[in-house]
Amino acid sequence: MIIAKSKLTAEQRLELVHVSLMRSPEFALFAGLFMVGSNEVVDEPITACTNGRDARYGREFVSELSDKELAFLVMHENMHKCYRHLTTWRSLYEINGEIANIACDYVINIQLVDLDPNGRLIMMPIDKKTGMRMGVLDAKYRGMDSKQVFDDLIKKCKKAKPPKGKRGEKGDGNEGGDGDEGGDGDDGNNRHGVDDSKDNPKGFDEHDWDNAKEMTEKEKEELAKEVDSALRQGSIYAGKVGANVPRQIGELLKPEINWREVLQRFVKTHLKDRDAPSWRKAHRNYLWQDVILPSIIGKRVKHLVIAIDTSGSIVGPMLDLFLTELNKVVTDVNPEKLDILYWDTSVCNHETFKGGDKKSIVHRTNPRGGGGTNPDCVSAHMRDHKLAPDALIVLTDGYMHSEPRNWAFIKTPSLWCVIGNDNYKPPHGQLIVIREKS
């Protein structure tokens, strides 16, 4: 139980809230996260603020909150830390700071409501003057990440006026939004009242994007490791007290696979120049010593095929990054022949590189496409053009269907690099999932 605020100072109340949350099965997972960065009460005229590592709470605002509301506020700030919102989604802030703030808060608030649906320990703050909820909340965003919510809000802004907030300038950091997006509705058991009002939430915290930007790359890396370690320790503790780890947090705890390392390993396994001894010809460097040793014959890779999905979803920085990595692979492997297939529902461009042409592949290649997505066109094209490479590498987002029988004749090793889709099952070969942040 959270002790009533009575005559306790804001600092004491904040400490007691942290302890109470740590002891509860619902929030035991975040016990270690509370120790990341600093937590302080300040006399500044703010509600609460975080740069993704440190949290500050306004003394006056804290005094206005009930214990449950303060607990909600504490969890809200720590969820920003958990998802590293202010470093991960910097690109969204650069597009529209206000909507980036709102998107992150929608994701956090619905998850907090789901963690304690009956408001046993936490409750979203209520404006005492208006009686309205002080935060954005919509069940339609349950299960989405901040980018998906951001895209939806941007789409709405193009159809109507932008979401309203307490402040409208970029980077002010307060939540806004119309608060009446519809969503799933309140089932009557939810004490938080998801989607049960037509109010205009004013928001209750600020996002310190400027200070987050000032972190060095080393500091960001150290913060990411610290957050990851805190969550992993928290998950162990949560397991001991019989608590469940929310799916979204569980995704964060999955081992990260560096897809570039997997790609390099695949290349080394199947495509690297292999030197083999041969007794057909003696090694000339030792003949003058009357020593007969086998000569070394290099078994050079003859043919590599790279098939890149250009259906419309594989564009921009990720495509550039992939081509850069492939340029390195091609340089290291140095195949005698390289075929690049750009495809959507058919192979839109088939390029062949030989000899010195491969050294400038990134500058010479010409991606084409933009239609639907049908990977089976790659196998059909390889069959029709009698392509039998030493290995095949496919880049796609995996949002499609393919028939394994259409790939039955492919006998060469293949590696499917799928962007962000854990559910895709390739019709042939090995799979690695590429996360955009990698």
Q: Tell me: do 220 and 263 sit in the same domain.
A: no
Asked if the structure places residue 106 within a domain, the reply is: yes
Asked if the structure places residue 3 within a domain, the reply is: no
Asked if the structure places residue 5 within a domain, the reply is: no
State the pLDDT at residue 328: 73
Q: Tell me: do 248 and 264 sit in the same domain.
A: no
Query: What CATH number should be reported for the domain holding residue 349?
Result: 3.40.50
What is the extent of the structural domain holding 211? 10-252
Q: Tell me: do 263 and 233 sit in the same domain.
A: no
Q: Tell me: do 201 and 278 sit in the same domain.
A: no
State the pLDDT at residue 254: 61
Q: H/E/C letters for each residue in the chain?
A: CCCCCCCCCHHHHHHHHHHHHHHCCCCHHHCCHHHCCCEEEECCCCCEEECCCCEEEEHHHHHHCCHHHHHHHHHHHHHHHHCCHHHHCHHHHHHCHHHHHHHHHHHHHHHHHHHCCCCCCCCCCECCCCCCECCCCCHHHCCCCHHHHHHHHHHHHHHCCCCCECCCCCCCCCCECCCCCCCCCCCCCCCCCCCCCCCCCCCCCEECHHHHHCCCHHHHHHHHHHHHHHHHHHHHHHHHCCCCCCHHHHHHCCCCCCHHHHHHHHHHHHCCCEEEEEEEEECHHHHHHCCCCEEEEEECCCEEEEEEECCCCCCCHHHHHHHHHHHHHHHHHCCCEEEEEEECCCEEEEEEEEHHHHHHHHHHCCCCCCCCCCCHHHHHHHHHCCCCCCEEEEEECCCCCCCHHHHCCCCCCEEEEEECCCCCCCCCCEEEEECCCC
Q: Tell me: do 246 and 267 sit in the same domain.
A: no
Asked if the structure places residue 4 within a domain, the reply is: no
How much is the pTM?
0.54
- Of 226, 252, 278, the domain-final residue: 252
- Of 220, 252, 284, the domain-final residue: 252
Asked if the structure places residue 104 within a domain, the reply is: yes
Asked if the structure places residue 364 within a domain, the reply is: yes
Q: Tell me: do 238 and 298 sit in the same domain.
A: no
Q: Tell me: do 223 and 297 sit in the same domain.
A: no
pLDDT digits (tens, 9 = 90+) for 239-266: 766 666 676 776 666 655 666 677 767 7
Q: For the chain, what is the domain count?
A: 2
- Of 252, 282, 306, the domain-final residue: 252
Q: Tell me: do 403 and 316 sit in the same domain.
A: yes
Q: Tell me: do 222 and 297 sit in the same domain.
A: no
Q: Tell me: do 68 and 195 sit in the same domain.
A: yes
* Ranges of residues in the chain whose predicted pLDDT is under 50: 1-5, 162-190, 194-201, 273-276, 279, 286, 296-298, 437-438
Asked if the structure places residue 2 within a domain, the reply is: no
State the pLDDT at residue 130: 86
Asked if the structure places residue 217 within a domain, the reply is: yes
Q: Tell me: do 52 and 178 sit in the same domain.
A: yes
State the pLDDT at residue 224: 86
Q: Tell me: do 109 and 219 sit in the same domain.
A: yes
